[in-house]
Structure 1
């Protein structure tokens, strides 16, 4: 009775393919199981076996091979980004099963495709799961041409309201100077604001002709309104930011150790406070979207954000066409605008 299938016998079964296998030895006249798969098509994630059964979890490797072939043939810039569901190092998974075969396969794909993994600057993980699981499965892979074209770009993760994937932001930081002053209609609902403006306006001592006096007073009032708004605006945004920082601090500790009962209770309370603050702040999204026909309390944050983003994209000036040449450097754009006017 053959209790274990030797490698020689396995080579005769699949002599034309590279393969791997898991088997359960026979016990007397019963038992004996064999699971075999092609390593050029599948990679083993994990496996379990007992006397009467074998369970294997396999991942297809074809997708990495196809992407690698496309990357090698494409002569231009390449950028692959999103949820790869794979990591490059074991430390990029916390409280999860570490699959070294999957890690090696993913790293081989990056090397074979001549891609570079962009480092994440402001965080260690991009995904948070239940029971304190963390991993960095969202990444940006680029080739040398793309990296040279977007020289200086950095990868950061954005905030996330719930345990799931964090948004990743990859790009250059351009300093376009101070933001323009914008009047907020919510200020008019506060009686103290009108009294503040009247007192400030009467207190300005400006001498000159009428147009100059009006321009100077408006400029002074604008600066005073900014100071007033900063000191009198609702504290919800500030409290929400502080709450986010405390939650992030506890989650950072959770990545390296288990939290105590007191810390877990504090984390639950902070999440409850954050939810209440988010509901109050949500009413302001309606004003930013400028869809005033919607009733206050309509909960459709995704719609409000979408409309605000569309308005921002339609009015955003990323550069200028100067002398039949596109210029997107902030310094050059500012200089040309000043010379033009």
Structure 2
């Protein structure tokens, strides 16, 4: 079940505050996955307004409302503003938007698009999944792999089995390429799907709990229940570790080992870093293959000084990979 709300906010602060308070109360009463959208008649940041009146109080109230109800504000793709009430096209604002519960983003890769405005003051806004084919996902070394007892052995075996001749950098490149392929296989066959394995173990643990409620378990049954319980905890730690790596946050910075929280932060980081389109010679390019080629062409013309490279390396945290091979500093 989900909660979907369409609203229109008043243009005056007192009316907006009543609406924000009412929606906040509804959020508490109906805590399922929310999706709300409409004309907010307010912006979040000054970058969302062009040649319009500044209202710091309204922005603060609106941002406070979004923080209170804990919904995600997706970036606007396709255009920057959703409202224009000027014949000359000088006054613009982003007044229309959707706000989503993180639960939606756990299941769907939604994007928020601003469409053609036509003759209306407002442009339509649509939430939809990105069905463009960006090609195979790049390899990423997952820190949670190190929690598996056979991981180090698998890495050492793959590394030693790849015998290459040539200069040092060439040998390392070929060995890393071989290791990448072997880790893909190991991840699929040994490490497995964390979500599926956890669901299976949790179901088995539930069955053992039901039996324990109705009768005394025998020793071998108690032993098996302890094994399953230990496995559930182990998979839970792996899942948290994976989302923590994706979010690029540290436990010590927030004191919260909640995988849902880190999923939210990871999704926010991914949307912030999203390269959905690029401008090439004044034209907007959105096709995935052309976007990739434009990025490659751009960086072919960029020259980095050695001191700049060292500064970048020293500022990297352990979750960042230094190149497209996907091996992060934690792996090394």
Q: Which TM class, normalised by the smaller chain length?
A: 0.3 to 0.5
More helix by share: 2
**Bigger radius of gyration, 1 or 2?**
1
Highest RCO, 1 vs 2 (Cα 8 Å, sep ≥ 6): 2
More strand by share: 1
Give TM-score scaled by structure 1 length: 0.37
